[in-house]
């Protein structure tokens, strides 16, 4: 695959403006983080790396890791409860559940079915989707289609990840990047108060599948006594992340720029009219490079990767919720979410910010 090919013909856009009367809204947003913090200095104790290298190349200072007994369902359910609690919506009012995870504990049943039972939601559709780091935006796009078609009325979109169980902790090129967390969106129709979805753009280029994937986990013959519990092979999902960092960098910076431009054009505004871009929190150099190409001020790129690392599909709800909870999102703002990830996949949408209820469940900060 040649990722240097011109974007327009390689990654065909499907940007569509949501039609009047058929729009839908994000009513609530909730997130959940595990309480254990792992700093770059903690990684220095068992990896040949340094805080200086990690911070300067990626912007990441610390990440969260799930506790030994903490499951993906626990994180997903905490974020969903935070979301529903903030929105004042009972689980009984949610008719559809879509989950995204690249780190599921089991192939089936789906995380969404587990979550439906855990929350006590009605027996509507519940299923998982796989679009790697683009999963939350794919989920929102799917929720919008289900609502516009009349099949669903209240859709919970939950992205949950425990990447600490999907890493080769002896590989310094990937182990430093990722973290654990979950985020949930509640989506409803245009009669509800919330943030309106104005436009979306989804795509994939399967020719880039080898740039980012998983391999069987290496056999852990001699566990080192220096290794912390979260690196234990007993916790491993049996597969580990493998990545061509340079290829991912090239793809991510290009697609981020392209999607923001296409989305702005699809609703007839300039990039400068967008108040905030909430990108997938891959790493700060990817984001700074894309912001530079777009001539968009980096201060209007929402980032929280310094504290959470890259949480794959959970990263956009985590970053957006933190910004909203800090009062950064103002009524009427155009907010652009842009995700990109393995597949290769991408997904973007523009929200007009409205009264979206937000709750952050973070035991480490008391949030």
Q: How many CB atoms lie within 10 A of CB 165?
A: 23
Closer residue to ligand ACO in complex, CB, 301/340: 340
- Interface residue list for ligand ACO (CB under 6 A): 49, 53-54, 57-58, 133, 172-173, 176-177, 212, 243, 245-246, 248-249, 252, 282-283, 285-286, 310, 340-341
CB of 92 to ligand ACO, least distance (A): 36
Alpha-carbon distance 213 to 23, whole Å? 35
List 352's β-bridge partners, or say none. Answer: 196, 334
Our CB check for ligand ACO shows the closer of 104 and 279 to be 279
Question: Is the Cβ of residue 180 or residue 361 nearer to ligand ACO in the bound state?
Answer: 180
* Cβ-Cβ contacts under 8 Å for 83 (sequence gap 6 or more): 28, 29, 30, 156, 184, 185, 186, 359
The single residue of 280, 283, 304, 329 carrying the catalytic annotation is 280
**Given 24, 121, 133, 329, which residue is catalytic?**
133
Cα 141 to Cα 154: distance, rounded to the nearest angstrom: 14
Cis upstream peptide for 109 (omega within 30°): yes
Has 310 been annotated as catalytic?
Answer: yes
- Complete DSSP assignment for 280-304: --S-HHHHHHHHHHHT--GGGB---
Nearest Cα to Cα of residue 59 among 313, 295, 282: 282
Nearer to ligand ACO, 177 or 357 (CB): 177
Q: Calculate helix-pair angle for 245-266, 284-294, nearest 10 degrees.
A: 40
Q: Which three-class secondary structure state does DSSP give residue 50?
A: coil
Q: How far apart are CA 65 and CA 54, in angstroms?
A: 17
Please tell me the distance from the alpha carbon of residue 316 to that of residue 133, in angstroms, as a whole number. Answer: 9
State the minimum distance, in angstroms, from the CB of residue 286 to ligand ACO.
6
Residue number with the smallest Cβ distance to ligand ACO: 245
CA 280 to CA 341: how far, in whole Å? 9
State in angstroms the smallest separation of the CB of 292 from ligand ACO. Answer: 15
Q: Please, what is the minimum distance in Å from the beta carbon of residue 53 to ligand ACO?
A: 4
Cβ distance to ligand ACO smaller for residue 27 or 314: 314
- For ligand ACO, the closer of residues 152 and 312 by Cβ is 312
Catalytic site residue 153?
A: no
Please, are residues 33 and 203 in contact by the beta-carbon 8 Å criterion?
Answer: no
Nearest to 362 by CA among 296, 313, 304: 304
* Active-site residue, selected from the candidate residues 40, 283, 304, 310: 310
Q: In whole angstroms, how far apart are CA 30 and each of 39, 77, 166, 281?
A: 24, 10, 24, 17
Active site annotation includes 280: yes
Least distance CB 318 / ligand ACO (angstroms): 13
Say if CB 290 and CB 255 are below 8 A apart.
Answer: no
Shortest distance, position 272 Cβ to ligand ACO, whole Å = 26
**Min CB(198)–ligand ACO separation in Å:** 25
When the beta carbons of 194 and 279 are compared against ligand ACO, the nearer one is 279
| Catalytic residue positions, numbered | 133, 280, 310
């Amino acid at each position: 695959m040649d990722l240097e090919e011109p974007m327009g013909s390689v990654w065909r856009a499907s940007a569509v403006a949501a039609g009047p009367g058929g729009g839908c809204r994000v009513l609530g947003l909730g997130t959940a983080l595990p309480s254990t913090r792992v700093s770059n200095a903690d990684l220095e104790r068992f990896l040949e790396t340094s805080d200086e290298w990690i911070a300067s190349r990626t912007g990441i200072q610390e990440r969260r890791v799930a506790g030994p007994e903490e499951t993906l369902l626990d994180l997903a359910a905490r974020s969903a409860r935070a979301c529903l609690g903030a929105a004042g919506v009972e689980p009984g009012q949610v008719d559809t559940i879509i989950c995204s995870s690249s780190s599921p504990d089991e192939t089936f049943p789906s995380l969404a079915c587990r979550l439906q039972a855990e929350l006590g939601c009605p027996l509507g559709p519940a299923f998982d989707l796989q679009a790697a780091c683009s999963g939350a935006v794919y989920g929102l796009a799917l929720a919008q289609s289900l609502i516009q078609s009349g099949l669903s009325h209240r859709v919970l979109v939950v992205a949950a990840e425990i990447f600490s169980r999907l890493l080769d902790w002896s590989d310094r090129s990937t182990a430093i990047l990722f973290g654990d967390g979950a985020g949930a969106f509640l989506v409803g129709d245009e009669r509800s108060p919330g943030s309106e979805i104005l436009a979306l753009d989804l795509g994939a280029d399967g020719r880039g599948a080898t740039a980012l994937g998983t391999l069987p986990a290496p056999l852990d013959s001699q566990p080192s006594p220096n290794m912390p519990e979260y690196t234990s092979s007993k916790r491993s999902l049996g597969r580990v992340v493998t990545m061509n960092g340079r290829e991912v960098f090239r793809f991510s910076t290009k697609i981020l720029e392209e999607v923001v431009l296409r989305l702005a054009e699809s609703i007839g505004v300039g990039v400068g009219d967008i108040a905030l871009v909430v990108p997938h929190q891959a790493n700060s150099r990817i984001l700074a490079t894309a912001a530079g190409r777009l001539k968009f001020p980096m201060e209007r790129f929402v980032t929280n990767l310094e504290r959470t690392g890259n949480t794959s599909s959970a990263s956009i709800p985590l970053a957006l919720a933190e910004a909203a909870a800090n009062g950064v999102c103002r009524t009427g703002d155009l907010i652009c979410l842009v995700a990109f990830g393995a597949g290769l996949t991408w997904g973007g949408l523009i929200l007009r910010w409205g009264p979206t209820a937000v709750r952050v469940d973070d035991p480490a900060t008391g949030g």
